């Protein structure tokens, strides 16, 4: 059986709207919503979001890090006349060098992506709420200009976002000195004394203790925090495995395509 097919998709579709020179425009819609329904959602969402996300927040549109720093998420929103559906919105800005509107050329083209899901999946979607914005930042790095808002690129974003909510992507966490679980995003990670890799597909919670001189008190704190994570986020369905040997930790990181300063090579 294929890796992805083991899990039911949680998203029923995605709508992407952009603020064209003449007003809001739907550039992608693979949902069951008709074009006029999608436009109603786009106008409502862009109006609400636009109040908190003015284009002139960007001083230099050519600075990709600055442009991406204003990515925000909103919602869930109700979908008009669709009681069983909800929408999460992600706002972002792309460059628009060929726009006839000077302000859009200067500050970029405002876009909103709507993730549409059945209300029954609300809990599962919100479990990943804190991961949505940074994950979208990573998977959308090839979308920089308005010409990049094409069906093939956006369909790829939709597939990857669905993977996030399906739970097929391993998630990496650490535990702060105060015992708080913190999620880590990206391939390259700064060194810490503990890493948790939650692999829902393999039903494993790898607890990697990277400090050979860790105190017993710290180990107890880590185990308590890992147990709470397993209980609250994964309904106690993961089997915890503690790893202390650096070579074994390095092999696990390599398996999950992660690089940690001081443990593995980039």
Write out the chain's pLDDT in tens, 266 residues: 233 333 466 888 999 998 887 778 899 999 999 989 999 988 888 887 765 545 556 666 766 677 777 788 887 888 888 889 999 999 898 888 888 888 888 788 889 999 999 988 887 777 777 778 888 888 888 889 888 999 999 999 998 888 888 766 788 888 888 888 888 876 556 778 888 998 888 889 999 998 888 899 999 999 999 999 888 878 888 999 999 988 888 888 888 777 776 665 43
Range of the domain at 200: 171-260
DSSP string across 104-141:
HHHH-EEEEEEEEEEGGGHHHHHHTHHHHHHHHHHHTT
Residues 181 and 228 placed together within one structural domain of the fold: yes
- Residue for token pair 């064209």: 20
Last residue of a domain, one of 117, 141, 166: 166
Angle at alpha carbon of residue 163, lines to 161 and 169, rounded to 5°? 115
Does residue 100 sit within a domain?
A: yes
Residues 46 and 114 placed together within one structural domain of the fold: yes
Last residue of a domain, one of 150, 166, 182: 166
- Residue for token pair 């603020």: 19
The pTM for the full model equals 0.68
Number of domains in the chain: 2
Reduced to 3 states, what is the DSSP secondary structure of residue 17? strand
Does residue 265 sit within a domain?
A: no
Residues 71 and 133 placed together within one structural domain of the fold: yes
Question: Distance between CA 263 and CA 244 in Å, rounded?
Answer: 12
| pLDDT of the residue at 221 | 93
Residues 162 and 77 placed together within one structural domain of the fold: yes
Angle at alpha carbon of residue 23, lines to 95 and 85, rounded to 5°? 95
Last residue of a domain, one of 99, 132, 166: 166
Cα atoms found within 13 Å of the Cα of residue 94, Cβ hemisphere only: 22
| pLDDT of the residue at 29 | 94
- Please count the helices (runs of H) and the strands (runs of E) in the chain: 8, 12
Residues 112 and 226 placed together within one structural domain of the fold: no
Does residue 266 sit within a domain?
A: no
């Amino acid at each position: 059986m294929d890796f992805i097919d083991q899990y039911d998709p949680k998203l029923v579709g995605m709508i992407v709207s952009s603020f064209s020179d003449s007003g809001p425009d739907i550039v992608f819609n693979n949902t069951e919503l008709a074009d006029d329904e999608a436009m109603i959602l786009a106008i409502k969402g862009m109006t609400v979001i636009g109040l908190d996300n003015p284009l002139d927040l960007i001083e230099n549109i050519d600075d990709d890090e600055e442009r991406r720093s204003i990515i925000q998420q909103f919602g869930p929103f109700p979908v008009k006349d669709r009681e069983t559906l909800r929408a999460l919105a992600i706002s972002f800005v792309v460059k628009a060098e060929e726009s006839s509107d000077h302000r859009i050329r200067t500050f970029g083209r405002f876009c909103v992506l709507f993730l549409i899901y059945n209300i029954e999946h609300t809990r599962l979607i919100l479990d990943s709420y804190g991961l949505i914005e940074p994950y979208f930042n990573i998977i959308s790095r090839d979308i920089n200009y308005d010409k990049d808002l094409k069906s093939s690129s956006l369909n790829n974003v939709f597939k990857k976002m669905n993977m996030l909510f399906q739970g097929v992507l391993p998630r990496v966490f650490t535990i702060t000195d105060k015992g708080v679980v913190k999620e880590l995003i990206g391939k390259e990670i700064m060194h810490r004394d503990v890493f948790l890799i939650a692999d829902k597909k393999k039903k494993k919670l790898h607890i990697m203790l990277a400090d050979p001189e860790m105190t017993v008190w710290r180990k107890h704190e880590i185990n308590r925090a890992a147990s709470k994570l397993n209980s609250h986020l994964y309904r106690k369905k993961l089997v915890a495995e503690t790893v202390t040997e650096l070579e074994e930790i390095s092999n696990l990181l390599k398996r999950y395509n992660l690089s940690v300063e001081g443990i593995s090579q980039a």
